[in-house]
Structure 1
């Protein structure tokens, strides 16, 4: 039998639904008021703090790092280390912030004192110790204004293979840590400065300098910034003197080993394909190469694509870029000075992958000592689909040896007339003067800021190299 609902019953149902809806809304609003947690700032002072304090004010700061691991961090929380403090060991952050409320590791105190200093010389994989000072496992974490020094380089003979070596890094971003930022830190004499596996990491405005030690057991040189994943951005860093000359470095044939290694930036770990890596506005000097992109370690021939390498200034040894594997990569508007040569040299732009469709445009390249510009491959093998255009090539001393590639369209072969090339040891020394033929000689590639954050273009067309000429350059 079908039962019909009369109008009174309908009215009662409507009223009940109304009250239920409002009751649920009230509960929801009440819950939303309970959820947010006030951000907490924790203070750590190695000189005057005490670990039995609550750490929640400068006057009740902790003394050491040990309480950090027992503390649940919430979005917006901060850990502040007092300037002038010194710490040994590793800070591991397992918790995550959010885009709006990142977890922050930073400094506080007297700016005349040195930044909070961290070191770690313990490498024992059996106990998950890899010589890290800061190890990030959570997402949306910012590490800034810290000082790392004298971390692990000389590993024991039983250190293990690639997988354990890849755990090195004074500041280490793990695979689980997304959208982390490492900025404004100083790193001195660390075998590996910053290592990142974290998706969407940004490594920005760090000063990484002076490590000349061999990484045992693989006889590698020191690495300032080491990338093992895609979606990385490395920008505005200053990297000085990361290299080692040592007869124990014999990892390849005579032409590719034999005594020197290291570098400013390395990209490897062939287990993972890599794309969307942006390396821009960095200055590198006296390193054993600016960038090396390797193609074989535990695996071979990984797909590495879509790297953007632009507006960098390099005054290094060995090579500006060794791109063993890489397609559709843009190498553009860099100022490359290759006048330094030691027992290992790979030319200027060393690309070996065949038919790889890369872009080499608007670069300013000055060489000395007969250093080869394109030492590998050859036009028919490596470069048939690559676009090489609007580069300036000049040999200040010795002969200009282009190597195995054509110079490309609209090439310029003349002194670029730089500000202070002879005595140059800062990026600004390689700015253009008013007489430079690089002015207005570049293609418009869509970049908006030069190395010095000057608008592009300043004149009719963009300039060649990392700098736009301005009257202030004189």
Structure 2
């Protein structure tokens, strides 16, 4: 081989190698960084080499084949009546238009690689297509029954008097569900997103590997039901991933996780908007649904603000890690920034049940009694002295947190309550409890000494800036808990700061 031909040969294979490298990096190049506002709306769909694209537009006709924008279907009803979708199929609604609700019942499954997508097409400058729920009869805007491998993305979902997105594994599992980059408005309805629990049929099907990310989830239950959540995770058995969402003005919890294992909740904003029933995140056990346990869960780098009910509730569980969150209350006579205890009589007295929980590096900033830690004994039919676990370091390791803004003399309240988990009365004033139920902050520190009752010196929390001032005592005050970046994606070098932001 001559020198010239050898050079041509090497150049040819170098170019092939370069093309392969660029192709393999394509997905990484568009991945959003932590703390960003999320990905933009998906671009117009490209030719589909796996499944087929089905188009829906108001100018269409349900007698069409739906396989092109020119032969689009007209209504959501035509989608609901389609017998079976295949892996890789896309169900695409035209941007800037409004459609009715859809229900898919055992209408095919996607795979982890080739998912069935319910999304959008058309001019990216137009608004997300709206799926409008019905109010008569009781209904849901998007209902997925016993299907896996589904992605719901780039839609505005609103108007149902039930749940806006209702995932129901009534006859089979609902694994690998993704809800991405949607605006979900639950006003005058119930939960914005709900993974249902079927506990009455005698058989049980659940959901694994669920992702909810980059969504605006707001107004659940407003004008309808004060028990409604932004995201109700009552049926996700393992590996739920909830990240980079904004929860706003939801009537009950932003996120309610009823049992399961391996869930990660990070980089979310949970804003209760001062609603008297609003809460942040709650974990608890749930009997009868085939899951029961709440364990091995991570709650980190979230901002939880303006929640008048409990901002962080760890009702039951083991090995739940609550790391580097910033919690800010700004209402008088709110409830607790942190609540620990149990809601399950059958599990509470089991010595191995509540164990290994870690609450570290958080900022709990409130007013009046909102930094109270409450421990609740679910009494039921049991009698005798309640088992109080909060002062057992092996069950609750509460370290390197800032608790600030309350009355230090009553910063911690041990509240023993039977027969119900939470009081029905809003704005419970914990300072009026009997002396046997209150514990001064200094006494709390005997069990958990590495905590601080100091002003964290946040820059402008009233206007949403929870970053740290240059003289904040939170700087470099954290424990190493395996985090590499803060809420905005800034690298953590050395000891982490307390809260969601690095200085």
- TM norm. shorter chain > 0.5: yes
Which entry has the higher C-alpha Rg, 1 or 2? 1
Q: How does 1:238-317 map to 2 (within 5 A)?
A: 238-243=246-251, 262-268=252-258, 274-286=260-272, 288-295=278-285, 302-315=292-305, 316-317=307-308
Output one character per residue of 1:349-368: Cα deviation in whole Å (capped at 9) or x when no partner.
11113653310100011010
Mapped contact 2:371–2:404 kept (Cα < 8 A): no
Asked if 1:178 corresponds to 2:175, the answer is yes
Give the C-alpha shift of residue 227 in structure 1. 0.5
Q: How far apart are residue 122 of structure 1 and its match?
A: 5.0
Q: How many angstroms apart in 2 are the aligned matches of 1:300 and 1:220?
A: 27
Look up the match of 1:246: none
CA-CA distance at 1:379 after TM superposition: 9.9
Alignment of 1:26-425 (within 5 A): 38-45=50-57, 47-68=58-79, 69-92=81-104, 94-122=107-135, 130-135=139-144, 137-153=146-162, 168-172=163-167, 174=169, 176-188=173-185, 189=187, 190-196=189-195, 198-213=207-222, 220-228=226-234, 229-231=236-238, 232-243=240-251, 262-268=252-258, 274-286=260-272, 288-295=278-285, 302-315=292-305, 316-341=307-332, 345-353=334-342, 355-376=354-375, 380-384=388-392, 385=394, 386-395=396-405, 401-404=411-414, 406-407=444-445, 408-424=448-464
- When the two structures are aligned, how many residues end up with a matched partner? 382
The CA deviation string for residues 239-276 of structure 1, in whole angstroms up to 9 with x for no partner, is: 00012xxxxxxxxxxxxxxxxxx1211123xxxx5222
Question: Deviation per CA, 1:422-446, whole angstroms, max 9, x where unpaired?
Answer: 333xxxx111122211111111111
The answer to whether the Cα contact below 8 Å between 1:368 and 1:398 also exists between their aligned partners in 2 is no
**Cα displacement (A) at 1:299:** 8.1
- Judge which range, 170-179 or 290-299, deviates more: 290-299
Gaps of 5+ in 2: 1-47, 196-205, 343-347, 349-353, 377-385, 415-438
**1:301–1:90 distance in 2 versus 1, CA, 3 Å:** closer
Flag structure 1 segments of 5+ consecutive residues without an equivalent.
1-35, 154-167, 244-261, 470-474
Q: Look up the match of 1:13.
A: none
Residue deviations 1:100-125 (CA, integer Å, cap 9, x gap): 2111111111233221111223576x
Equivalence for 1:452: 488
- CA distance in structure 2 between the aligned counterparts of 1:400 and 1:289, rounded to whole angstroms: 22
Q: Is 1:467 the equivalent of 2:458?
A: no
Q: Could you say which structure has the greater relative contact order, defined with CA pairs below 8 angstroms and 6 or more residues apart?
A: 2
The alignment partner of 2:237 has SS state of: coil
- Paired with 1:192 and 1:238, the residues of 2 have a C-alpha distance of 15
Question: Aligned partners of 1:86 and 1:284: how far apart in 2?
Answer: 28
Partner of 1:435: 471
Task: Name the SS of the counterpart of 1:422 in structure 2.
Answer: helix
Residues 213 and 221, structure 1, Cα contact 8 Å, conserved in 2: no
- Shift in Å, 1:397: 8.1
> Is the 1:132–1:172 contact (alpha carbons within 8 Å) kept by the matching residues of 2?
no
Change (3 A) 1:346 1:333: same
The question of whether the paired residues in 2 share the 8 Å contact of 1:301 and 1:325 is answered with no
Deviation track 1:15-69 (CA, whole Å, cap 9, x = no partner) reads xxxxxxxxxxxxxxxxxxxxx9842111111x21111221111111111022323
In structure 1, C-alpha distance between the alignment counterparts of 2:165 and 2:100, rounded to whole Å = 12
The 10-residue stretch of structure 1 (329-338 or 376-385) with the greater mean CA deviation from structure 2: 376-385
- Cα pair 2:140 2:166 within 8 Å, conserved: no
Give yes or no for contact 2:229–2:255 (8 Å, CA) kept in 1: yes
Residue range with higher mean Cα deviation, 310-319 or 320-329: 320-329
Aligned residues: CA RMSD: 2.8
- TM-score normalised by length of structure 2: 0.70
